[in-house]
Amino acid sequence: MNSSAKPYMNPYLAGVCLGLVLTGSFLILGTGLGASSGIARIAAAIEGWMLPDHTAKTTYFGAWGKSPLDYYLVYMFIGTMIGGLISAVKENRLSFQLEKGCQCSSWKRITLALTGGLLVGYASRLAQGCTSGQALTGGAVLLTGSFVFLICLFASGYAAAYFVRRQWND
């Protein structure tokens, strides 16, 4: 399927589209886009399902009540996946694979993806948002914290990039 995959969209036009979606979100919902909150809400639901008493007592998840999934960003997260799927099918880009460099073992890539996920999941909660909910959304309304977050994100990303470069070696 990959062979017939269509080329990616012009990044500048994609950026304009993304900016319009974001503006629309602000005008309709009154809030921007978000992804990590949806993930955290799902985490709260899972923890609440496994350890209901403990979760209700915790300060952070506990504050979300008995049904943490009744939240607009959970719906947005599901929407994002649906939108991604629609587009991937339409553009012939749906293919089940573990993306990595040829010289990188699967286990290494899996470990790195998991570690990255853990760090990102934690950091998104700490900073009250991720690239979507904090950097892009807050940046669009010119919030200081969002710019600070964005700068720090790229600074540490570039600083750490060297150490994990081999996962993409072909």
Partner 1 sequence: MIDTFFGLGQLDSSKALFMSLVIGILFGMVLERAGFGSSRRLSGVFYFKDMAVIKVMFTAMITAIMGIALSLRFGLVAEQAIYLNPTLYKAQILGGLIFGIGFVIGGWCPGTAAVGAASGKWDAFIFLGGAVGGSFFFNETYTWVKELYEAGNQHTAFVYQSIGMSKDWFVLLFVLIGILVFWCMELIEKKITQKSDYLNTVFLKQFSFVLLISGFSVFMLLGDPSSAAKNNESPVQSQPVETSETALLNQIENALDHIEPEELARRVIKGQQGLVLVDVRSEPEFLKFHIKTARHIPLKDLVEQLEPYRNLGMIVLYSNGMTHPAQARDVLFRMGFSNAYLLTDGLDGFINQCLRPVSLRPEPVPESNAREINQWRQFFLVSDSATAAKTPMDGLPIKGLALPGIIDAQTLFAHMNDPGVRVIDLRSQPEYNTSHIPGSLSLNVESLRGNIKGVPSCLLPAHLLAGHLSLMGIQPKTLVVLVYGEKVQDVTLVGMALERLGHANYALLSGGYLQWKALGFATDAMLPEISFSTYPDTDKDQFTIDYKAVFSHVQNKTALILDVRPQAYYTGEKSDEARAGHIPGAVNRPFDLDTVKTAETIAFKPISELAVAYETIIPSKESLVIVHCRTGHQASQTFFVLKHLLGYSRILWYDAGWTEWAARKELPVKTGTTP
Query: Can you tell me the distance from the alpha carbon of 27 to that of 21, in angstroms, rounded to the nearest whole number?
Result: 10
Q: Closest Cα to residue 153, out of 128, 125, 122, 130?
A: 130
Report the nearest approach of partner 1 to the CB of residue 159 (Å).
Answer: 8
Minimum distance, C-beta of residue 52 to partner 1, in the bound complex (Å): 14
User: In the complex, what is the shortest distance from the CB of residue 132 to partner 1, in angstroms, rounded to a whole number?
Assistant: 4
Q: Are 88 and 9 in contact (CB under 8 A)?
A: no
- Residue with smaller CB distance to partner 1, 52 or 147: 147
Q: In the complex with partner 1, which residue's Cβ is closer, 52 or 122?
A: 122
Is the CB of 21 or the CB of 52 nearer to partner 1?
21
Distance CA 27, CA 33 (A): 12
Dist. CA 136–CA 32, nearest whole Å: 8
